[in-house]
Amino acid sequence: MRGIVSPKLTDFLALANSNIALAKQNNVQFTPTILRENLNKLGALMSDSPSVSYIADEALTLTDRTIPVRVYSPAPELPLPVLVHFHGGGHMCGSVALYDPICRHLASIAQCVVISVEYRLAPEYPYPAGVEDCEYALIHYAQLLNDVNHQDSVTIIGDSAGGAICTSLSMKSLTDKRIHIDQQILIYPSVDYTLTSPSLDSNGCGFLLETSRIKWYFEQYFKQSDQRSDQIKQASPLLGTINANLPKTLIFTAGCDPLRDEGIAYAKALSAAGVDVEHYSFDGMIHAYMLLHDLVKQECMTTYQRIAEFMAKA
């Protein structure tokens, strides 16, 4: 069923759809540079950015690379829970800088230490490079908090591709005891790279993120090889191991999102397996609504508040 979009987004989508149509008319091809620039433009719609008393750019250094991170704490002297954040962007776009307003809101409203991870992006670094960076950051996060008091409780959070990374790490934690996750928070997550969910058709055009672009993202994320088909299945949490040992989960879906149905299916699968799940649907919202704060402030603030309530129960 196709979603019915909120009137708050009508003008925004009219302009976005006009630009998309013009690009198609002029045969403008997707490129990483164009899509990264377009996503970064949404930063102008997050003008409400709260101050946070402690913000520091840190890094985890490995022999072959460095993983930059940004640490936020609203009260570094207090032992607050830890929230490790993986940004969205189709595994190709997004950054710590773009998501800075979101992480400020998370730290301020949920009263937690936020660690935002700058993982490697496709196509320069295809699967599983970004997941490996996030895994390393999750395992070694305590090295980043020498100047910040914190609890041992760890929650991971991600939107879209970041949600996919969360669910992949949660699934891996079932067999890899180095990975400790108390809870996961998923915001319109991508959890099935086989592209079989019905909403990819019903919501596949006209709502900013289009199915044609999703397919192109995935083509860049998974390197062309004999193992590509196996990688796609391996990376799809909806098709992987789902049992009662997965962490408690808070999941948000958007009614006008092409990824809506796979997020709903994942929530139902977790619940059926005995996992404690909270699922909220914002029926009139589109994919990436959290990046549109100035247009849908009420929905964004409600999302932050529910995250805060979820964190408080950890």
Options 6, 73, 160, 197, the catalytic residue: 160
Annotation marks residue 287 as catalytic = yes
Residue entry with tokens 């995250």: 307
Cβ pair 97, 183 in contact under 8 A: no
What's the Rg (C-alpha) of the chain?
18
Annotation marks residue 85 as catalytic = no
Q: Where are the alpha helices (DSSP H) in the chain?
A: 10-25, 32-41, 100-110, 129-139, 161-172, 199-202, 211-221, 228-234, 260-273, 297-312
Residue entry with tokens 């391996």: 234
Question: Which tokens is 179 given?
Answer: 């990975």
Annotation marks residue 87 as catalytic = no
Amino acid found at 118:
E
What's the CA gap between 158 and 164, in Å, rounded?
8
Options 73, 257, 261, 293, the catalytic residue: 257
Catalytic residues: 160, 257, 287
